Structure 1
Amino acid sequence: MIDDVSGRSYRVQRWAARGSLAAAGLALLVPLAYGGVGGVLMLVGGAFGVVVTVAAVWWTLTLRGPLRGVAALVVLTVPACVVALFAVTLFWALPVAVALWALAVWLGRYALRGTGTHRVRERRCPPPARPFLIMNPRSGGGKVGRFGLKERAERLGARVVVLDPEKQQDVTELARGAVAAGADLLGVAGGDGTQALVAAVAAEHDIPFLVVTAGTRNHFALDLGLDRDDPTTCLDALTDGVELRVDLGFANDRPFVNNASFGAYAAIVQSPSYRADKLGTSLELLPDLLTGKQGPRLTARAGDTTLDAPQAVLVSNNPYRTGDPFGFGRRDRLDTGMLGMLGVRVENAAEAAALVLDPAPAGLTVLTAREVVVESDGPEVEVGLDGEGLVLSSPVRCRIEPGALRVRVPRHRPGLARRDPALDWRRLRKLAATVGRTARPHYRG
């Protein structure tokens, strides 16, 4: 019976893959069939519009004064003109093509659901006896107070320390003091930077770590499958939880759960005005940073690859998706034991356009490694570590400790049910081309 059900499910996935490829093909053919030669010219014009827009974005970021204003105007007007021209010329063909493309994406994700996916092994364990939580009342616009997290955690038996917004407190020392006092779980309701510091203490003492989604972005929580809309659900892990073993990254001796950023972004977050005016500070600093007039000259080395003078380097605790624009910024796994590295070196508008149009642009380096070394031409390197600005001694050695962190999470996590697989067209073609059960997808857990 189980084989029959799984066979039917696989056949549905195979036909969904075929439907996805067919819908994608029709999404391209409908405008061409409707417009004929004009449709071909429209597609060429659309591609040209993309090139002009990306080039204008580069000029907006690297120029100042009136020329920046002109470039920004181009960024706004060219896409609007292209869309308007498509709508006027193609009439009904454009919405039909858009609907077909949406159908292709939906069917593709359905077809790949469960194929080649990985779920970190869960371990059942008794509830902690003396949990200790640190909460930042300013994170996420005040989620700690808005959701009553302190009161709920204390009702569940946790000792809670709420940080004082008016004082600088060392969360690492707070966590170590709690462990010395007998805490058997450490947790954080706050941003990813605070989570990383406390996670390192938990890993050092081999006790579980609890993430409460009280931050603004909660990238680490997203990849764990936690509910980012309702942080109170994370506290269910105190009574009905499981443990996951995940990796932890380090830049020199500083931990990170998400990523370490070098180059333009790292320099911008160091600015005292960044927190109050992110956009204005970025626009003020980017022209000199991107053109090499300001900031250190970096060199990044990973294995046999050396990247000279990149404008930006991102080293992540496990690699991010890069080939799937619908899942960009997500990590499929947190237990590969490998760092991901993205390096960008762009010198002009043409190379910036290539980042969007070229499947393998020369200005983009994507790889995985166990260690990435980033070196500056000065004695120190500016680093954005999980969004927090730091200055570390050069060279900075980024490494990963596989399975170093025991994360305690609720047994029921809505993010796992909503997680979509990477949209991989090559895998879709292989699935669609299979006959019978000869290439049934493998499930890894």
Structure 2
Amino acid sequence: MASTDGAARPPGMQSGAHPYASLDAPDIDTLYAKLTRRIIPLILVCYFFGYLDRVNVGFAKLQMVNDLQLSEASYGVGAGLFFIGYLLLQIPAGGLVKRIGVKKCIAGSMLAWGLVSIATLATRDQTSFYALRFLLGVTEASFFPAVIAYFSVWFPSRRLSKVMALLFLAMPLGVVIGGPLSGWIMDAAHGGLGLRGWQWMFLIEGLPAVLLGFYLLATVTERIDDAHWLSDAEKRMVHAEMATEAEGKRAHLGAALREPTLWLLFFTSFLYNVGNYGLIFWMPTMIKALGTLSNFAIGLISAVPYLVASIAMVANAQHSVRTGERRWHTAAPVIVGGVALLASVGMRAHPVLAVACLTVGVAGIMSTLAMFWSLPSRILAGDAAASGAGLVNIGAAVAGFVGPSIMGYLKGLTGSTEVGVALLALALFSAAALILAIPRRFMGRA
């Protein structure tokens, strides 16, 4: 693909040249290990609390459905309304990142969603539940595009699968840690100061996002030249890597929208996340149906699949980098995930085997996640990075509404989650088919 659409290049740099190759630069792998240690842990912690504040409603459901007199279908709609607010601002969020910068977008998003999450304790009926879930989606909308833009300043696409695997550890950890924590808070704090357990959960789990928002304003470095923790030689090396990275990519959103593969990623994101979010929001209910369990026990059992998934996700990404194979490392895990979900339905009479199948299913689904989100950066650079990621994320946001809503409707209609799980598996198989259709030039070495 020729670089005719505005891809950035330093003055005087010719295509394929490495302007700093003659300088006494540090070892590149050592440099990027340093960047990873400096940048990823804080963003991982932030994403952890964002993900926790997004999905803890699955645990709140165990109490609040009865407290608020919500039907199964209305809970599913409310859980999914987060993604309506989220998707409405995805493309505008990319423009906002460009206008006010990464730091303000990430920090501002965290402050706002923490406050809305805390406010959810004031939910009194279906209308207020719907409104607060929608607002939570609005406040989180700019976070992920801003993070993609932030990473695009520092990391070339060939390194992003490992970086994204580390970032997406926040998702399984959100259940591994957040599941038992949410269940424990709901059991231990129930009735304190006149608040229900689910109200305490929203209060306690929303506060860290507010505190982290203030911390981010003081710590995020948006420009390579402002990184006081890098030597001059290290800064030159990062500049050189990113200048080479920008060659041949779509650097403006208009050009990116004319790239068919971007739209293929959009539909893949939708189908994949119908399965992913449908499972996330309903797993506590699925586990509760296996036996008489406390909220804390449900949280502990829910943590097992995601603990395994956190290991599988990083291992899959690292193996992809070692072997240079990307296509099947992206498609195969989600196929395994769909098969395992179907198997979990057939094992309902055997709770241990059912949880084992769910564990394999979650590990497969999560292992695809990091691989998939390294793909947009193989197409996009410059101004298009945040907006293009926002477009692909719209597919995920629509799915986040559709998946839980379908599960809620079918649960209310049939009295079980079996038919809904079968539809989730079908969506995952369809996503795998689209992954296998991605052009070869975007599925080169990891």
Higher share of residues assigned helix: 2
TM-score, length of structure 1 as denominator length: 0.28
Greater relative CO (CA pairs within 8 A, separation 6+)? 2
TM-score, length of structure 2 as denominator length: 0.28
Bigger Rg over Cα: 1
Higher share of residues assigned strand: 1
